[in-house]
Structure 1
């Protein structure tokens, strides 16, 4: 049978949109605590606890019903991009620093650390038998490690970033990459080459249903459902924004697909038809996890974790629709503020803004590199002899972070115009001045 191809008509979701005004948020409706976008989410099988990872370099263990943070975990040097629930009440976090940490609730430090990857870890998955942990990394590999100890297996072949991993029920690993390939790997020791499926677009995310169907999505905003033999069964375009996360309900009946534009589509897998859309404040939804067939949990660019009723698409509790405060609004019209806007997701300007994916820039002029309070810097940065001032900040953006500050986790970027660099420096000198 040929694949089903669906493209929703404009406005076809309108009768199901959730449009609520800003109201006071009761306990348990939203989980607040991260200082940056919520990049990763996982929920325990009984639905009582969740673990989240954020661009603010922390992971938080939550009591879902109460909406309270039980424990804040700081270990990674960079964003926490991936989390997973492990057997025995443990959980795992994967970071921009290439490390994977295994945690026991209540412990202040990881009970085990894996450091085989040479690039950021962006995806984690636990094998069906609970004995192994797989990871996806921007070093171009997926890796599989026995949780009880033993040889770590590297799966190599993707040309570029590996963005996601998942397991088939028989224990074989599925990986999805920026090279637009989906790869199904033989179990360690079997020696067979991977089955490679090339799709039309770079892939950001993958999930596997209980019956073996594979759901994949990525840059072309299209959700694809593959049969267990990897032939395409259906595709659904969720234009215009790239899909950055998918999750399957525990029974596999529904797919949640999140876009960088902030919408979340709930799709009936059997028919590949949309059921309803969840609508938030219009910021990226980076992470999804079903708490049960009846409830979805989402993490977004507004730093909040929200709960949604899957019977009707309504938020559980009131939904705060306001976008986060724009701290650049008071600098409207200033050229340097517009240059800085690309940096605002990772850096705050004021003490109350705190550390995000990068340290706060409050008081940065005259501060030695890698000394901002409360931020975990790499050892390489701590060894550099740089004091931030007009000249050094301008130089940073002239030659780029990787050349000027080797060892940084800061995304590579330059400001090519000397006038724009000067405007940025003038703006930062004023905006970061402490009282």
Structure 2
């Protein structure tokens, strides 16, 4: 209950401080997923910080903060009846309406959910997962249909206008699934990260080699173009299907004329990865990225709506010049704060960590497995965490896998944390 009140208070605070010409700020981690309502008034975002947020686009205010997932929110989608969906690293797909809790959990995968799509009739949803499957789940409670066949992660999913499912995966294939029988399989040259389906049935697919492929509904290629050396991680189609936006980990977004298969505009951001994007009508694009912001772009000019360069927060490590432990901690500061007023980010605050039991920070959504561990954080246990890696020392963690190989660097980090987290 306390965490729900905190979420509502945060939304209220953001609503009072947002500016219409400023990016939408509120997530504690990169913005991994975006969707915009058909009327262009609201946006739904999902983040590595385990939360989803509902925004009023015009005034930049956060209307709701949604927390139910144990891990990153990798995908979001909007239903025609006003409901919306979130899906996460925990393998679950949640259906939300007006209440503070999800109405129900629609699907549970054995691995992280990577993508969501809503069928044209609005009565079914599809989810793709790193468990190697895609699921078509009827909203009326009927049994889900499981699609298997990809070798490895299924990274994206979309519906064609006729209701057929399209999946894309790490195995560099795009598959078009009929209602019954084997899929049409298109073999590409590199892992496919994103797919989108146009109103006329054409399929856009892009991935690790930075190429965009335009495929006919029968799987044959109409056009292909190189967007650059950096992987494409997200695609979006304009409501009329005339343009495609492609986001890259290099931070640029290509806006493509679909009929001509030609880049018409390149949006250049602050240089951080753009993880998600959605059209707002035909004249505006909304993007989410590694800087934790949701930005708006004017597609007539290619310029951001509001400032591109945001005021940088004070450097929390500036007080420790030449401290080797502070230098090692640089890799951690994107996810963790050190001070009493720093709060939680993608990971919990480290303030007061020494002597604290694991999974004890209020309002942080730890995974169930993490809560079962019996560890107290000391100089020895923190050093051991980075010696063997989080996956071995804290099974079930959401923390990225990393080790510090040099014993002197581990010791320096521990000394720094003993000082900085008091």
TM-score, scaled to structure 2: 0.91
Alignment partner of 1:386 is 2:378: no
1:128 aligns with 2:117: no
Root mean square deviation, CA, Å: 1.9
1:266 to 239, 242, 255: 255
Give the number of the structure with larger relative contact order, counting CA–CA contacts within 8 Å between residues 6 or more apart: 1
Which residue pairs with 2:142 in the alignment?
Answer: 150
Q: In structure 2, what is the equivalent of residue 235 of structure 1?
A: 224
Partners of 1:260 and 1:332 lie apart in 2 by 31
Query: Where does the alignment leave 5 or more consecutive residues of structure 1 unmatched?
Result: 1-23
State the 1:349 CA deviation.
Answer: 2.6
Where 1:258 maps in the other structure, the secondary structure is strand
Alignment partners' CA distance in 1, 2:378 and 2:298: 50
> What residue in structure 2 maps to residue 280 of structure 1?
269
Is 2:63 the partner of 1:74?
A: no
Residue of structure 1 in register with 2:92 after alignment: 99
Paired residue for 1:164, among 147, 156, 159?
A: 156
Cα separation, 1, equivalents of 2:390 and 2:363:
21
Q: In structure 1, what is the equivalent of residue 397 of structure 2?
A: 408
Contact 2:18 2:24 in 1 (8 A): no
Q: Distance in 2 between matches of 1:101 and 1:30?
A: 27
- The answer to whether the 8 A contact 1:397-1:413 is kept is yes
> Does the 8 Å CA contact 1:215/1:226 hold for their aligned counterparts?
yes
- How far residue 311 of structure 1 moved from its aligned partner, in angstroms, is 1.6
Correspondence 1:173 to 2:173: no
Q: What is aligned with 2:347?
A: 358
Q: Is the 8 A contact 2:169 2:192 kept in 1?
A: yes
Structure 2 vs 1, CA of residues 89 and 102 (structure 1 numbering), >3 Å: closer, same or farther?
A: same
**What is the distance in 2 between the residues matched to 1:242 and 1:331?**
36
Aligned length: 406
Aligned residue number for residue 52 of structure 1? 45
Match of 1:205 among 190, 194, 198: 194
| Unaligned runs of at least 5 residues, structure 2 | 1-16
Q: 1:112-151: CA deviations, max 9, x gaps?
A: 1134201111211000111111111111111110011110
Contact 2:238-2:244 within 8 A present in 1 as well: yes
| Distance in structure 2 (CA, Å) of the matches to 1:145 and 1:285 | 29
SS in 1 for 2:108: coil
Structure 1 residue 62: Cα displacement: 1.2
Provide Cα deviations, 1:229-278, integer angstroms capped at 9, x if missing partner. 22222222222321111111111111111111211111111122111211
CA contact (8 A) 2:270 2:308 kept: no
8 Å Cα contact 1:55-1:356 kept in structure 2: no
Separation (CA, whole Å) in 1 of partners of 2:36 and 2:79 = 11
CA distance in structure 1 between the aligned counterparts of 2:354 and 2:226, rounded to whole angstroms:
48
- CA distance in 2 between counterparts of 1:243 and 1:273 reads 16
> Are the aligned partners of 2:155 and 2:192 in contact in 1 as well (CA < 8 Å)?
yes
**Quick check: 1:185 aligned with 2:177?**
yes
Once the two structures are TM-superposed, the CA of residue 183 in structure 1 deviates from its matched residue by: 1.2
For 1:115 and 1:170, how far apart are their aligned partners in 2?
A: 23
Q: Tell me the residue number matched to 2:9.
A: none
| 8 Å contact kept, 2:195–2:206 | yes
* 1:418 corresponding residue in structure 2: 407
TM-score by length of 1: 0.88
CA–CA distance in 2 between the matches of 1:422 and 1:164?
A: 42
| Whole-angstrom distance in 2 between the partners of 1:176 and 1:426 | 46
Between stretches 394-403 and 139-148, larger displacement belongs to 394-403
Query: Could you tell me how far apart the structure 2 residues matched to 1:117 and 1:123 are?
Result: 12
SS of the aligned residue for 1:339 comes to: helix
Query: Is 1:164–1:176's contact at 8 Å kept on the other side of the alignment?
Result: yes
Deviation at 1:359, TM superposition (A): 1.1
Verify the 8 A CA contact 2:18 2:61 in the aligned structure 1: no
Moved more, 136-145 or 375-384: 375-384
1:329-357 CA distances to partner (integer Å, 9 max, x unpaired)? 55454433343333333222333332222
Match of 2:4 in 1: none
SS of equivalent residue, structure 1 residue 89: coil
CA distance in 2, matches of 1:335, 1:135: 44
Determine the C-alpha separation between the residues in 2 that align with 1:302 and 1:353: 17
* Residue number among 124, 132, 137 corresponding to 1:140 in the alignment: 132
Give 1:3's aligned residue. none
Structure 1 position 342 matched with structure 2 position 335: no
